[in-house]
């Protein structure tokens, strides 16, 4: 069955989300976050797509874009392919890194544009990591000095100076973080446990293990308190395999 055509925004503004396949992490270290941003910048230069806001979380990334030439699909395909090739090469893995089609939402009025902006920048706060102003991998701090591939013209017209911008972003809002689940033991603890118990640099290393060794490793993680969801997300191994192991 053919895919449904992606709905394109009349205004040109869209909220884009890319996720790791099976919710696996797609940023292991600072170099990965920087590489993704440089990839976005590269393909902004090759197209007319401009970034209005971004927030990169461990296993997904949010982009608020302006795309007046309907180039979003081409742009995201290039970004996804380039970054996945980099990630797979660096971590010696094979297969898909990003989940299927990216999520897209048309943003057709100015009020909702600001709602989406605040939602994106508050992802770290909703995830219990830190306030928006303290998060390193978002565009929060770039309001007065945006990168060349960004376009904040309408947002600045609506919000005015930096003081108004900060007050607006830091207002309480009820929308949940799309991809965040609360665990009794958080992911920082889970990643430490993986390294300690299995003597690997990252959970994704299990993907290269021979089947028997992989299943034994999965049982070890489960016995040390990791949930099936955590194991799936931090190793990139499907939940069915985790459960069977």
What pLDDT shows up at residue 3? 54
Q: Which domains does the chain have, with CATH numbers?
A: 13-169 (3.30.70.1290), 187-244 (no CATH)
For position 5, what pLDDT does the model report?
Answer: 64
Whether 228 and 241 have beta carbons less than 8 Å apart is answered as no
- The pLDDT of residue 111 is 87
Q: Which residues pair with 62 in a beta bridge?
A: 17, 55
- Which residues of the chain carry a pLDDT beneath 70? 1-5, 172-185
Q: What is the pLDDT of residue 184?
A: 41
Quick one: pLDDT at residue 4? Answer: 60
Q: What is the pLDDT of residue 173?
A: 60
- 46-62 tens-digit pLDDT: 999 999 999 999 999 99
Q: Residue 80: its pLDDT value, please?
A: 95
């Amino acid at each position: 069955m053919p895919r449904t055509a992606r709905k394109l925004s009349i205004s040109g503004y869209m909220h884009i989300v890319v996720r790791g396949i099976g919710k696996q992490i797609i940023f292991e270290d600072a170099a990965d976050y920087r590489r993704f941003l440089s990839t976005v910048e590269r393909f902004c230069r090759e197209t007319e797509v401009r970034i209005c806001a971004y927030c990169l979380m461990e296993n997904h990334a949010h982009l608020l874009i302006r795309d007046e030439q309907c180039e979003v699909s081409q742009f995201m395909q290039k970004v996804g392919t380039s970054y996945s090739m980099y990630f797979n090469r660096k971590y010696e893995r094979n297969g898909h890194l990003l989940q299927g089609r990216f999520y897209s939402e048309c943003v057709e009025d100015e009020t909702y544009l600001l709602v989406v902006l605040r939602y994106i920048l508050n992802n770290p706060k909703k995830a219990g990591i830190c306030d928006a102003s303290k998060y390193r991998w978002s565009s929060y701090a770039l309001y007065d000095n945006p990168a060349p591939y960004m376009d904040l013209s309408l947002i600045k017209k609506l919000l005015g100076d930096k003081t108004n911008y900060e007050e607006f972003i830091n207002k309480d809002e009820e929308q949940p973080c799309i991809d965040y689940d609360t665990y009794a033991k958080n992911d920082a603890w889970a990643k430490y446990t993986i390294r300690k118990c299995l003597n690997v640099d990252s959970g994704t290393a299990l993907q290269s293990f021979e089947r028997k060794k992989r299943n034994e490793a999965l049982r070890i993680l489960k016995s040390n308190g990791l949930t099936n969801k955590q194991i799936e997300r931090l190793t990139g191994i499907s939940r069915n395999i985790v459960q069977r192991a």
